[in-house]
A and B are shown apart, each in its own frame.
Chain A
Amino acid sequence: MNEPILELKEITKRFSGVEVLHQVSFDLRPGEVHALLGENGAGKSTLVKVMTGVHRPDGGEIHLHGQRVEFDAPSASLQAGIAAIYQELSLFPDLNVAENIFVGRQPTAAGGRLDWRTLYREAEQLLASLGMHLDLKQKARSLSIAQQQMVEIARALSINARILIMDEPTSSLTLTEVADLFRLVRRLRADGTAIVFISHRLEELYEIADRVTVLRDGAYVDTRPMAEISREELIRLMVGRTISNLFPKQEATIGDVALKVENLTLDGVFENVSFELRQGEILGMAGLVGAGRTDVARAIFGVEPPTGGRIEVEGKAVSISSPQQAIDLGLALVPEDRQLHGLIPPMNIVANISLPMLGSFARRGWLRPRQERDAAFQAAQQMEVRANNIWQRVRELSGGNQQKVVLAKWLSTKPRILILDEPTRGIDVGTKAAIHALMSELAGQGLAILMISSELPEVLGMSDRILVMREGRVTGQFSRAEATQEKIMSAATQTMAEAL
């Protein structure tokens, strides 16, 4: 095959000291579809953002047409012919198709007036050359997702992009729309456009991709021709870590059912989710980002109450319509996003820990500062929060210490059912191990724990049972003994047809 058009050599990227890409190499040839594959958090998005100039690498080189380049802004990479189409489409909803294609570069006639005739003629030629059938005067607002994607592709090609990056382009398309998209991709490939294609759907990659590069934990794993690699081997490359004793889940006596969920539904988000969670048990919830796991947790906790189904807490049917009710029933939720939902970053450690139980540190509404301070100090000390003192603002703490404050906050409510949403995301290894040890200890004391995690080794290492969700449905359930990374990955990525 011919020379690569784009080459990334040993790219390293750090965010506030944490390495998210470690010497990742990637090359792209004209006229090929190169798939980028990896679990959530493997570094795919970061790598794409390095290619498009959103992030500057901390190490490594980018070569374009054999020459070293540096992109210091997205506009620079766009100028160099690299365009990306992200999951969130970015058309102007009130402009029509032709205007959207040429937005910012409208042809002008004398005196700076818009040259509408040229605009529509060029737009029509472009769409015809791509085999797209769109009404040029239709507003973007009224287009389907698939049509909007077509317009974005047309826009990218109208600026002579030779490299097109597509981040999960099929995730919200119907089967026929996917077929249309693939027809277009093949056409572009035949014209010599190089395409980076990101998708979690393995079967699609077999249909469209020429080569695949697998990333894992921010590191490069391998690049293979798609035709020479089996599905099993791909999954093994994606998840192929050996599970260390980082995950010390000890055997705990499993008690009565603490939380029972039956056919829980939130219209348009998830449906018919059913499971049981027992005292002393850790139930892992695996799946890809967007599978609806966080929404299930939010529904159970009353943040966004479900539209259908039943919830039983300790044998009694309950209807939870606010977090306050959930807390009173003995539930606690450590949310996925610390900064947004878990903490009040400008306030100090004491105020953060005491917030859910503020009433218990007060007499007739009047705060008792000493009680509040003592309780918060004790909770912070127990969690080994590292800070100068408990009056330090939470936003000044490291991610791991912030997560410990969130845990201290919720454990001081003395919950009987604990929901942990990505409890160790973005925190250092030491704190991660401490949190795993804590979870095991809490389960041993009879706490029922529902753990949502996108990290397979964590799910496998910590859980007594594992539930897998995909697209708002439960697609798999495994006991600790029968669960393997491959089985979970396959349940998390399979199409509905395969599940039935």
Chain B
Amino acid sequence: MTEPRPKAAPPAAERSAGATISAAPPRRSFLARFQRWEWMLVGLIVLVVALNSQLSPYFLDARNLSRTSSDFMEIGLMMLPMVFIIITGGIDLSVASNLAMCASFMGWLFMRGVPIWPAALAALLLGATGGLFNGLLVARVKLPPLVVTLGTYAFYRGVAYVLLGDQAARGYPAGFTFIGQGKLPGTLIPFSVALFIVLAIVFGLVLHRTTFGRTLFAIGNNENATAYSGVPVARTKIIVYTISGLMAGLAGIVLAARFGSTRPDIGLGLELAVITAAVLGGVDINGGIGTMGGAVLSLLLIGLLRFGMGLLNIQGQVQGMVIGLLLILSILLPNVARNLSARGGAPQRRSLAAAAALIAAFALFILFFFWSRAQVLGAG
């Protein structure tokens, strides 16, 4: 063997005779530690809170915050398993439809005299079955997840309409609606928020601290090599899609409890909000990269942004435009950072173009914000 020649000379303390590699964690500068998307999100959250509390006296009101927070919990509950799925390189477009199918099934059972708790349990099981069906088609039949869940997106929503027609199921007992409307005794914290926080911690630990979580990243980065390493790839995918279905069922129960009734159009369009929250949180849509912390932070950011804009009487559609711009920024920024750190002509030129696009996007962002405010204030 030739003499060991480390690529970069290690610090004297780590250098030992014959060592070719070190087990010490990489040294990163103070600045480098903050070059993470999660910190970017924290910064944006601080910015949004600061701006909004200046613009509206009602923003930092605990009661308001408490009320608005529960509006985002169904999205949050479905986002947790969505992070798993996207990290494996998949996607689940059927979550909101599955939610509606489960909520409608529960309402349908309830209207036929089934007590609410067994009906809710049955809804959870139905959700898990819906997820399992997606998982089997994706992992065993090896169909593309986008197409499979686009199909079940239409199918599950259809089942909701078949079950309830144009009726609404209502009259849920108070013990049940507590799930969506109640607060923890003696506090302003909604029960659904507490439920989400607990589950977010569980999902986060599973993703980042277990062998199961590790294999999700491995599958998303290189499915073939993961299979060669003896990981049961198909089974893992089936489990992940089943969990997604189960959580959609849970979100359906929470949403029905919050509304106190169920209509078949419940939760229409939520799947896009769920995917947006995950991707804005830094979960790579191509799989293999992402953190649960980032996803939760991005949900918080979206919630605060929408709440703040709502207080300023900015219409929902304009709110959507702002969130959409933010999403594009979230995938543009890391590209710019990567290109700036890379050398060479072509990447540099591309990074300049990206930076220009970035500035233009920011300008648009600000413009929309004030333009729409002026519209509303002018009309009022």
Chain A's closest residue to B4 (CB) is A386
Task: Give the shortest distance, in Å, between B14 (CB) and chain A (any CB).
Answer: 9
Q: Tell whether A324 pairs with B222 under 8 Å between CB atoms, given A386-B20, A389-B22, A389-B26.
A: no
Give Cα A340–Cα B225 distance, bound, in whole angstroms.
6
The answer to whether B288 touches A356, judged by C-beta atoms less than 8 angstroms apart, is: no
Q: Tell whether A386 pairs with B214 under 8 Å between CB atoms, given A344-B221, A344-B225, A430-B1.
A: no
Query: Which one, A358, A367, A388, contacts B209 given CB within 8 A?
Result: A367
B230 within 8 A of A: yes
- Measured between beta carbons, the chain B residues less than 8 angstroms from A109 are none
The answer to whether A377 touches B23, judged by C-beta atoms less than 8 angstroms apart, is: yes
The answer to whether B209 touches A366, judged by C-beta atoms less than 8 angstroms apart, is: yes
- Measured between beta carbons, the chain B residues less than 8 angstroms from A340 are 222, 224-225
Q: How many contacts between A and B, using CB within 8 angstroms?
A: 116
A64 within 8 A of B: no
Interface centre among B6, B24, B229, B289 (most CB of A within 10 A): B229
Give Cα A24–Cα B37 distance, bound, in whole angstroms.
51
Number of residues in B with C-beta < 8 Å to the partner?
37
Query: Which one, B20, B209, B218, B232, contacts A385 given CB within 8 A?
Result: B20
A345 within 8 A of B: yes
Give Cα A342–Cα B222 distance, bound, in whole angstroms.
10
A459 within 8 A of B: no
The answer to whether A430 touches B230, judged by C-beta atoms less than 8 angstroms apart, is: no
B5 within 8 A of A: yes
Q: Tell whether A367 pairs with B214 under 8 Å between CB atoms, given A346-B288, A386-B6.
A: yes
- Measured between beta carbons, the chain B residues less than 8 angstroms from A433 are 1
Task: Give the shortest distance, in Å, between A429 (CB) and chain B (any CB).
Answer: 10
- Measured between beta carbons, the chain B residues less than 8 angstroms from A342 are 225, 228
A310 within 8 A of B: no
A126 within 8 A of B: no
A20 within 8 A of B: no
The answer to whether A355 touches B26, judged by C-beta atoms less than 8 angstroms apart, is: no
Give Cα A2–Cα B305 distance, bound, in whole angstroms.
79
The answer to whether A327 touches B230, judged by C-beta atoms less than 8 angstroms apart, is: yes
B364 within 8 A of A: no
Chain A's closest residue to B234 (CB) is A322
- Measured between beta carbons, the chain B residues less than 8 angstroms from A326 are 230
Task: Give the shortest distance, in Å, between B305 (CB) and chain A (any CB).
Answer: 31
The answer to whether B210 touches A367, judged by C-beta atoms less than 8 angstroms apart, is: yes
Task: Give the shortest distance, in Å, between A96 (CB) and chain B (any CB).
Answer: 30
The answer to whether A390 touches B21, judged by C-beta atoms less than 8 angstroms apart, is: yes
A380 within 8 A of B: yes
B317 within 8 A of A: no
- Measured between beta carbons, the chain B residues less than 8 angstroms from A335 are 228
Query: Which one, A346, A358, A377, contacts B215 given CB within 8 A?
Result: A358
Which B1-56 residues sit within 8 Å CB-CB of chain A?
1-2, 4-8, 10, 19-26
- Measured between beta carbons, the chain B residues less than 8 angstroms from A388 are 6-8, 10, 21-22, 26
A268 within 8 A of B: no
Give Cα A381–Cα B6 distance, bound, in whole angstroms.
13
Give Cα A174–Cα B300 distance, bound, in whole angstroms.
67
The answer to whether A390 touches B5, judged by C-beta atoms less than 8 angstroms apart, is: no
Task: Give the shortest distance, in Å, between B8 (CB) and chain A (any CB).
Answer: 6
A303-315 interface code vs B (CB 8 A; 1 in, 0 out)? 1000000000000
- Measured between beta carbons, the chain A residues less than 8 angstroms from B231 are 324, 355, 358
The answer to whether B23 touches A351, judged by C-beta atoms less than 8 angstroms apart, is: no
Q: Tell whether A381 pairs with B218 under 8 Å between CB atoms, given A303-B227, A367-B209.
A: no
Chain B's closest residue to A354 (CB) is B214
Interface centre among A335, A358, A374, A387 (most CB of B within 10 A): A358
Q: Tell whether A323 pairs with B230 under 8 Å between CB atoms, given A384-B20, A386-B21.
A: yes
The answer to whether B226 touches A344, judged by C-beta atoms less than 8 angstroms apart, is: yes
Q: Tell whether A347 pairs with B228 under 8 Å between CB atoms, given A367-B209, A388-B8, A389-B21.
A: no
Q: List 26 A-B contacts (CB under 8 A).
A: A303-B228, A322-B232, A327-B230, A341-B225, A341-B228, A342-B228, A345-B222, A349-B21, A356-B229, A358-B211, A358-B215, A361-B211, A367-B214, A373-B23, A377-B21, A377-B23, A380-B21, A381-B20, A381-B21, A384-B20, A388-B7, A388-B10, A389-B23, A390-B21, A430-B1, A430-B2
Besides A346-B288, A367-B210, A390-B23, 15 new A-B residue pairs in contact (Cβ under 8 A), listed by A number = A323-B230, A340-B222, A344-B221, A346-B222, A355-B215, A358-B231, A365-B211, A366-B210, A366-B211, A377-B21, A377-B23, A387-B21, A388-B6, A391-B25, A430-B2
Please name the 5 residue pairs, one residue from A and one from B, whose CB atoms are nearest each other, closest first.
Answer: A324-B230, A377-B23, A389-B22, A355-B229, A327-B230
